[in-house]
Amino acid sequence: MKFFVDSADVAAIAELNDLGMADGVTTNPSIILQSGRDILEVTKEICSIVSGPVSAEVVAPGAEEMIAEGRKLAGIAPNIAVKVPLTWDGLKACKVLSGEGHMVNVTLCFSVNQALIAAKAGATFISPFIGRLDDINLDGMDLIADIRQVYDNYGFETQILAASVRNVNHVAQCALVGADVMTAPPAVIRSLAHHVLTDKGLDQFMKDWAKTGQKIL
């Protein structure tokens, strides 16, 4: 499973990229707001750090405007994935932009039917939001599993990009049900290394090592 970093924090992205933990990056208007930077400037910098897809989202409501914005965003760097919403206009934009050879990430997916029509419109990525489904007492992981089955049934090449990933359990479950990609904030990715028994074991090793009175260097 590929890891995308859901952030516009270039320092955090660079650190994870150096560790091989950033196969790509996703952004959205809320993330750009948090960065406090110009969307074109920060997106270009991110694209220079990671070689994988970098999702940059359109903000226009209509298809023609989405297409125009998508073309401008795609011009930032070859690894841009234009992010469009899962609306009828978004699907129209997806069809045109993907037909022009651009990667397209169709976002805000909450049903199998939405995922199905996004794939038929040529989406490179479909982004089901599992955390937001959990918020309304639906199991977001069931949606990932159902999309996986449908895509496998018919040979769709659209990659399942699990979004709204909020904790380490989400990451493990996404991998188990076959998501192609998961995107998460840097803090969630870092927390994958943490386990209470690892900490406990290391603490005991250090205490025992101190008792030996030895040094390695």
CATH code where residue 141 lies: 3.20.20.70
Could you read off the pLDDT of 148-178 as tens digits, one per residue?
Answer: 999 999 999 999 999 999 999 999 999 999 9
In a domain, residue 145? The reply is yes
**Averaged pLDDT, 47-53:** 98
At residue 12, the 3 state secondary structure works out as helix
Residue 70 confidence (pLDDT): 98
Confidence of residue 47 (pLDDT cuts 50, 70, 90): very high
Domain count, the chain: 1
Average the pLDDT over 6-31 and give the result.
Answer: 97
Residue type, 107: T
For residue 187, tell me if it sits in a domain.
yes
Q: Does a structural domain hold residue 172?
A: yes
Q: Is residue 111 one of the residues assigned to a domain?
A: yes
DSSP 8-class letter at 156: -
- Which residue segment(s) compose the domain that 21 sits in? 2-212
Average pLDDT over residues 25-31: 96
Residue 217 included in any domain: no
| pLDDT tier at 81, thresholds 50, 70, 90 | very high
Give residue 182's pLDDT band: very low, low, confident or very high (50, 70, 90).
Answer: very high
Report the chain's mean pLDDT, rounded to a whole number: 97
**Average pLDDT, stretch 142-153?**
98
Task: Report pLDDT for 26.
Answer: 98
- Across residues 125-151, what is the average pLDDT? 97
Under 8 Å between Cβ of 114 and 91: no
pLDDT of amino acid 39: 95
**Please, which residues have CB within 8 angstroms of residue 93's CB and are 6 or more apart in sequence?**
58, 63, 66, 67, 70, 82, 84, 104
Percentage above 90 pLDDT, the chain = 100
pLDDT band at 72 (very low <50, low <70, confident <90, very high): very high
DSSP state of 121: T
Among 74, 60, 15, 148, CA closest to 7: 15
> Which residues are known to be catalytic?
83
Predicted confidence band at 192 (pLDDT cuts at 50, 70, 90)? Answer: very high
